[in-house]
Amino acid sequence: MMLALSRQQRRAFERNVAENEPIIQADARFFDRFPHREYRIRRMSRPEVAQLEAARGEPLPPMRAGAARFTLVKQLAPGVRLRIFVPGPGDEDGSDVSDALGASLWSRYAEQHPAMVDREAALRKALVEAGRPPRNGVTP
């Protein structure tokens, strides 16, 4: 997906991508430590919030009382991950979320956002074509 960003938005987006690199590396380390896991949920990082705001061209709406922003990460294969942003309880950090709950949240999001289903299918197809089947063996 290519966003039509203004020059200013593109610069802000790129700056936030670089600032979010340590978080992306933390996701990679999580899946290295827990190779049986397919999902990780964690609080959304400040650079992710700023990146999303730059892409949208406006600030995110405030969260309702007691809620927080989370990032749900799905690993398709080592080094190949997708992220979605979901609301969650403000008194949690996501560390206790099981893979089953992660899969359920991902599925619910995908039902409402068909473009994510298409993006995941395209990545799975590219993995198969590159000789790197997705971790759960599902092929497009």
Domain spans, the chain: 7-130
Summarize pLDDT for 11-41 with one digit per residue, the tens. 777 777 788 899 999 999 999 999 999 999 9
* Position 1 pLDDT exceeds 80: no
pTM of the complete model: 0.85
Q: How far apart are CA 72 and CA 84, in angstroms?
A: 5
7-21, 50-64, 107-121: range with highest mean pLDDT: 107-121
Confidence band, pLDDT 50/70/90 cuts, at residue 3 = low
Computed from CA positions of residues 29, 124, 86, 34, in that sequence, does the dihedral angle turn out positive or negative? negative
DSSP code, position 96: T
How large is the average pLDDT for residues 79-86?
94
